[in-house]
Amino acid sequence: MKRSDLERKHKKVNLKIVENEKELNEAYSVRTTVFVDEQNVPMEEEIDQYEDEATHFVLYDENTPVGAGRFRIVDGYGKVERICVLKQYRKTGAGKTIMNGIEKFATEKGLRKLKLNAQTHAIPFYAGLGYEVVSDEFLDAGIPHKTMVKHTLIDELQSIKAEA
């Protein structure tokens, strides 16, 4: 497996599932910096009613939180949400590290389909990870988005078995 630029430059990069209040606050801190401070999303929209039911992830460079995301199970599929990386860590593989960890988590939960609402500027990033656009453009917090989906490795393995 190819290591990201982030992993090569920063030996102690670690994606962690949030286990305590300190880690949750670190995830919220990254999200606040990216979405509220940089993109002007209102705080009351960023931290919402789904926080308690979500599984939260934080990406650390040593002990510094540099990225975050959350995951929920909605109507039998995995919903990937709030993926963000601090500005100085973008284009280093940090986002891919977060997504790979969330996708692994979803596969371990036996989920067959993942869904996310991508900001339109991020569509090429998600497409590079195997997500496909399935909606027209819509606004979320005043930012243009499109819904994207990806079928998990479970479906791919079942397709291979069916063909054999």
- Domain with residue 99: its CATH number is 3.40.630.30
pLDDT reading at 157 higher than 60: no
- Give Cα separations from 11 to 26, 29, 84 (angstroms): 20, 23, 21
pLDDT reading at 94 higher than 70: yes
Per DSSP, what are the bridge partners of residue 74?
Answer: 77
pLDDT of residue 85: 97
CB 68 within 8 A of CB 80: no
**Residue with the two structure tokens 């949400």:** 81
Residues 46-54, mean pLDDT to the nearest whole number: 96
CB 54 within 8 A of CB 70: yes
Higher-confidence residue of 115 and 163: namely: 115
Q: How many domains does the chain have?
A: 1
CA distance 17 to 54: 11
Of 1-10, 24-33, 39-48, the least confident: 1-10
CA distance 14 to 135: 33
pLDDT reading at 15 higher than 70: yes
pLDDT reading at 52 higher than 90: yes
pLDDT of residue 6: 52
pLDDT of residue 159: 53
Report residue 109's pLDDT band, with 50, 70 and 90 as the boundaries: very high
Q: Which residue range forms the structural domain that includes residue 93?
A: 5-163
